[in-house]
Amino acid sequence: MSDSKIFDQKDSSVELSEIVKEYDLQPLSLEIFRSDRVDELWSLTDKGFRPLAWTPNVKYLLYHEEKGILIHDVEGDIYIWKDPSEETIGEQVEQYPKMEVSVGEKYDSRFDWGCR
């Protein structure tokens, strides 16, 4: 896998709107209140994204296995990878306390069945 970060909000050389359009990530946007962003992230689960881990109202990690898209929102800053490696997914999941990891357990080496 190529493990390519396609959007880093802190290095916004690319517009989020371009990424949203190209990878069908509506309704993600930059100019909103935190509560709206959280709603946007959860609405992505209707499009096949699975919540790997989350800290309510602080950070969220979602992954769409078929599209190969990993989205990490940390207090409003968004990072998006296309075709992330299992190592990258595991590194992102392990930023959460174990009790906040959901579907991401399979990528987390802290769990006995973790793949790393």
Which of 25-39, 40-54, 97-111 is predicted least confidently?
97-111
> Looking at this protein, which amino acid is placed at residue 80?
I
Whose CA is closest to 84, among 98, 100, 104? 104
Q: How far, in whole angstroms, is CA 50 from its chain's centroid? A: 9
| CA distance linking residue 30 with residue 16, whole number of Å | 7
Number of residues written out for the chain: 116
The domain spans of the chain are 4-84
Q: What is the mean pLDDT of the chain?
A: 88
Whose CA is closest to 93, among 48, 66, 53, 65? 53
Which of 1-10, 55-64, 70-79 is predicted least confidently?
1-10
Strands 4-8 and 50-55: unpaired
| CA distance linking residue 21 with residue 1, whole number of Å | 22
The pLDDT of residue 1 is above 50: no
The pLDDT of residue 111 is above 80: no
Q: Tell me the three state secondary structure of residue 55.
A: strand
